[in-house]
Amino acid sequence: MGTHLKAEERRSRVLELIRAQGFAALPDLAVALKVSESTVRRDLDYLEVTGVARRTHGGAFYSGPSPKSPHFDVRQAVEWDRKRQIATEASRLIKPGDTVLLDGGSTTYELARLLVGKPLQVVTNSLPVALLFSATDTVDLVFIGGYIHARTGCSLGPYANEMLANLNVQRAVLSVAGIHTRGFFNSNLLLVETERAMLRAADQVLVVADSTKFNRTGLAFLCGWEEIDVLVTDDRVDECWRQAAREAGVELISASPERGDPQGD
C-alpha cells in the first residue's frame, strides 16, 4: 500500500510540473523528482492514459482540464484562477477572423485554451499552444521554427526571429516575468530577443500578467511601457500602476471573477 501511495504522490508532482509549464522535458522531471528517467516514463504513460498529459519525444505536454484539481495546493490554485480570469478578459479583445500571435507563457496558454474553436489565424512559437490548435479546422496555424527551449517547449533564436521579421499580425499577446517602472522584463535572453521580434510584427501588443509580476524585474529587459498597447491583469494591482499605465498611454484592463463567460459576449 505504501508503494502505491508513493507512486500516486510522485505522479501528482509530475502532473503539477507539466501543468505549470505546459511542457516539461524528461530529464528535468527526473532531476526534480530525484528518480530515474525510466520511472518518469512510466508515470507519463499512466498520465497519458488518464488523459491529462500527452507524451512526446523528450517529455510531455499538459492536456488536461483547466479548472482547479486536487493535484495542486491552495496557493497554486489561486494563481491559476487569476491567470484564467486574465485569459478570459484578454479573449474578449480577440475577434473572429483576427490574426493573433501567442508566446509561450502560462497565461497565454490559458488564453489559447479559450480561443480553441474560434475562426482565427494563430501564429505561435509555443509547442504546447500549437498542440492545442493542431486538431481544429477553424484555425489557420503557423508555427515559428527555430531552436526549441526544452524547459518551455518554445522556439527561440535567430531562425525564429528571421521568420517573425517576415510576418505581420493584428495582435501579439505576450507574458512577462516582471513589470517595473523601467518597463517589462523576462528571464531568458533568447526569449526576449524573439519577443522583441514579436513586438515588431504586431499592429497591437497585449501583455497578460498577474499582479504578482508587478514591481519586479528580470534578467533581460524586453521593452518600455511605450511599446505596449494593452496590459491585462487581475484586480489586485495597486493604483500607482494604474497611474503609470495612464501616463504611458497604455490601456490597463483589470480582470475580475464577476465577469461572465466570454463565449456569451
Contacts of 175 (CB under 8 A, 6+ apart): 103, 104, 105, 106, 107, 108, 207, 208, 209
Full-prediction pTM beyond 0.75? no
- Distance between CA atoms of residues 240 and 223, nearest Å: 20
The Cα-based distances of 178 to 209, 222, 241 in angstroms read 8, 10, 13
Q: Residue 4: is its pLDDT beyond 90?
A: no
Q: Residue 10: is its pLDDT beyond 90?
A: no
- Distance between CA atoms of residues 101 and 163, nearest Å: 13
- The torsion region of residue 36 among left (phi > 0), alpha (psi -120 to 50) and beta comes to beta
Among 27-31, 91-95, 209-213, name the one with the lowest average pLDDT: 27-31
Q: Residue 12: is its pLDDT beyond 70?
A: yes
For the chain, the DSSP string reads -HHHHHHHHHHHHHHHHHHHHSEEEHHHHHHHHTS-HHHHHHHHHHHHHHTSEEEETTEEEE-S-SS--TTS-HHHHHHHHHHHHHHHHHHTT--TT-EEEE-S-HHHHHHHHHHTTS-EEEEESBHHHHHHHTT-SSEEEEE--SEEETTTTEEESHHHHHHHTT--EEEEEEE-SEEETTEEEES-HHHHHHHHHHHHHEEEEEEE--GGGBT---SEEEE-GGG-SEEEEETT--HHHHHHHHHHTPEEEEE-TTS--GGG-
Q: What is the pLDDT of residue 241?
A: 96
Q: What is the pLDDT of residue 117?
A: 87
Amino acid symbol at 221: F
Q: For the residues 84-113, what does the mean pLDDT come to?
A: 93
Contacts of 160 (CB under 8 A, 6+ apart): 125, 144, 145, 146, 147, 194, 197
Q: Residue 73: is its pLDDT beyond 50?
A: no
Domain 2-62 class in CATH: mainly alpha
Report residue 150's pLDDT band, with 50, 70 and 90 as the boundaries. confident
Report residue 131's pLDDT band, with 50, 70 and 90 as the boundaries. confident
More confident residue, 157 or 137: 157
Report residue 159's pLDDT band, with 50, 70 and 90 as the boundaries. very high
Report residue 201's pLDDT band, with 50, 70 and 90 as the boundaries. very high
Domain residue limits, the chain: 2-62, 74-264
Q: Report percent pLDDT > 70 for the chain.
A: 89
- Pick the most confident of 1-10, 108-117, 165-174: 165-174
Domain at 74-264: CATH code: 3.40.50.1360
Report residue 49's pLDDT band, with 50, 70 and 90 as the boundaries. confident
Per the prediction, the chain carries an average pLDDT of 86
Q: What is the pLDDT of residue 219?
A: 92
Other Cβ atoms closer than 10 A to 114: 19
Q: For the residues 12-40, what does the mean pLDDT come to?
A: 85
Beta carbons of 112 and 83 less than 8 angstroms apart: no
Contacts of 28 (CB under 8 A, 6+ apart): 17, 59, 150, 151
Q: What is the pLDDT of residue 258?
A: 57
66 burial level (CB within 10 Å; 0-12, 13-18, 19+) = middle
Q: What is the pLDDT of residue 71?
A: 36
**Residue for cell digits 492514459?**
49
Q: Residue 107: is its pLDDT beyond 70?
A: yes
More confident residue, 222 or 107: 222
- Pick the most confident of 44-48, 66-70, 171-175: 171-175
Q: Residue 149: is its pLDDT beyond 60?
A: yes
